Amino acid sequence: MMKIAPSMLSSDFARMGEETRRMAESGADFIHLDVMDGNFVPNLTFGAPIIAAIRPYTDVFFDVHLMIREPQKYIRDFAKAGANGITFHLESEGDPAETIRLIREAGCLPAIALKPGTPAERVFPYLESLAMVLVMTVEPGFGGQKFQPAMMDKVRAVRARALSQGLELPVQIDGGVNLETIGEAARAGVSICVAGTGVFRAPDAAQAIRELKEAARAACGEVC
């Protein structure tokens, strides 16, 4: 079944603790936390202190997505703040293998994210060391962008390579996920979708999450 990870980037920042609890109570499988440094991407969001502040509001998996230039410097900070999984960008600075090692050493599950312009093949050398691959379906930095369907070819390529290595590696997508696009994602092999405004601004977040999962299941039936 498709898993849904509401992105706190779309939450009411004045009520982040309550928003975190609301998403957990609405059936979120993960809480997605977009960390941006205003350098690697042209936006600035929040850091480890905010994540630590909202951690007591739920025990749902904290999926921390680092859109920062030097992720290795801050891995321990995010782990201490309560991250369960830490995703870093392949395009960021530092040796990816070393970043993965540091994430595992800190007690978190490592994942690599790929920008739309980065070929799938660049992540292949690291698949055996990862807990997940995140394929960005928009340019990272701002919410509310339009889903790029061409990124489903990248999802299929990552999935095929992982399966050829005997790996059941989840592929996540982030950007433009809604009732119209989630079916295409499910058919491509995506197993985790980050969702933003469509969940947070829905009259009923629980219903919005259920509808996304139902749309994914309807699109590919038992294959999902």
**Residues that are catalytic:** 34, 174
The Cα–Cα gap between 157 and 195 comes to 23
Q: What is the Cα–Cα distance from 1 to 132, expressed in whole angstroms? A: 16
DSSP calls for 55-115:
GGG--SEEEEEEE-S-GGGGHHHHHHHT-SEEEEETTSSS-HHHHHHHHHHTT-EEEEEE-
Angle CA 187–193–196, to nearest 5: 135
> Across-strand partners of 193?
4, 173
Q: Is 4 helix (H, G, I), strand (E, B) or coil?
A: strand
DSSP run (H or E) holding 37 = none
Distance from C-alpha of 15 to C-alpha of 57, rounded to nearest angstrom: 11
